Chain A
Amino acid sequence: MEPRVKKKVLTVDDSRTMRDMVSFTLRGAGYEVVEAADGQAAMTAIAASKVDLVITDLNMPVMDGLTLIRKLRAIPAHRSLPILMLTTEADDSKKAEGRAAGATGWIVKPFNPDKLISVVQKVCG
């Protein structure tokens, strides 16, 4: 289902390749995508423009993904902002840690584009 009003997704990853892939996949599915290379840049991007979903890597320089999630959840306006963590760690401890920090869900790398789209649809329409 094509979103009626383009939802804006922020992809946060220090890997340009990963950002590119997420962007390409989601733009193809009708989303608007903005990018940030670390948690700090993501905070600024979120401050500067309204985003509907954050997809964040966990291992990043400057500010890692879990810290980003915790900081966002501390801000009242972002308490129910969907945040997906994108990670190669498929183990449950990372998922649990992410959930505790306030992540909405997770996507395991490498991702299948269909799977990415369906997960994104599941959390932000």
Chain B
Amino acid sequence: MSMSSSMALATVGGSRSDALSLNGTEDQYVSFTVGTEEYGVNILAVREIRGWTPESRLPNLPDYVRGVINLRGIIIPIFDLRARFGGGKTEVTKRHVVVVIQVGERTRGILVDAISDILAIGPDAIKPPPDVDSGLIDAEYLSGLYTAENRMVTLLNVDKLFANEHGDHQDPVDSRAIAANAATP
């Protein structure tokens, strides 16, 4: 049962996304803050934004995997963006916000400090991140930088950000293993 109500931000995919961009070329981004930094994700990936609710922890995982919560009957993992970027585990308060992201079939929540804006960003306004070659920044999950007034907004590629926590790791005790093996002549 969902403990706090929340609201769908965008219907992901489907025909509504066409109607979404206001002038065709601009994409909408939801931006949020973690400490003094501001990040943005494409609004099409954002399923909803909800207040923080306590999560249940999962054993033996890095600290940026905070645990799982019950999102209206489905279980979704919550990732701590601050911890993911090496800033330590977030000391949560009721004011913290979880951005629920849908990537493919998977839904996950990202814990951030606060929602700051909805931005319409054209492709020309996105600048590449500097020094991606130096290895200082893992460019995989950065899709670019955007300047909103005088703030820098780091646009995230949500598909890549928690790719290593995908469930695609093959389990030897999978029933598919039986079928696959049994089918081999």
Contact = CB atoms under 8 A, between A and B. Distances in A.
Q: Do A and B touch (CB < 8 Å)?
A: yes
A47 B98 CA distance: 10
Interface stretch (A21-29, A53-61, A74-82, A88-96): A74-82
A124 interface: no
B3 to A, nearest CB: 11
Given A44-B115, A48-B4, A49-B4, A76 B9 contact: yes
Nearest to A81: B7
B118 A47 contact: no
A77 B49 CA distance: 12
Interface string B1-38: 00011111111000010011010000010000000000
A46 B28 CA distance: 18
A48 B51 contact: yes
Report, as a range, how many residues of chain A touch the other chain.
Answer: 10 to 19
Interface residues of B, number: 24
B7 A46 contact: yes
B160 interface: no
Interface in A11-63: 40, 43-44, 46-50
B120 A74 contact: yes
Contacts of A74: 22, 28, 118, 120
A7 interface: no
B16 A71 contact: no
A48 B4 CA distance: 8
A44 B9 contact: no
Contacts of A48: 4, 6, 49-51, 97
B118 A49 contact: no
A76 B16 contact: yes
B142 interface: no
B9 A77 contact: yes
B126 interface: no
B120 A47 contact: no
Contact of A76 (B4, B11, B49, B115): B11
B43 interface: yes
Interface of B: 4-11, 16, 19-20, 22, 28, 43, 49-51, 97, 114-118, 120
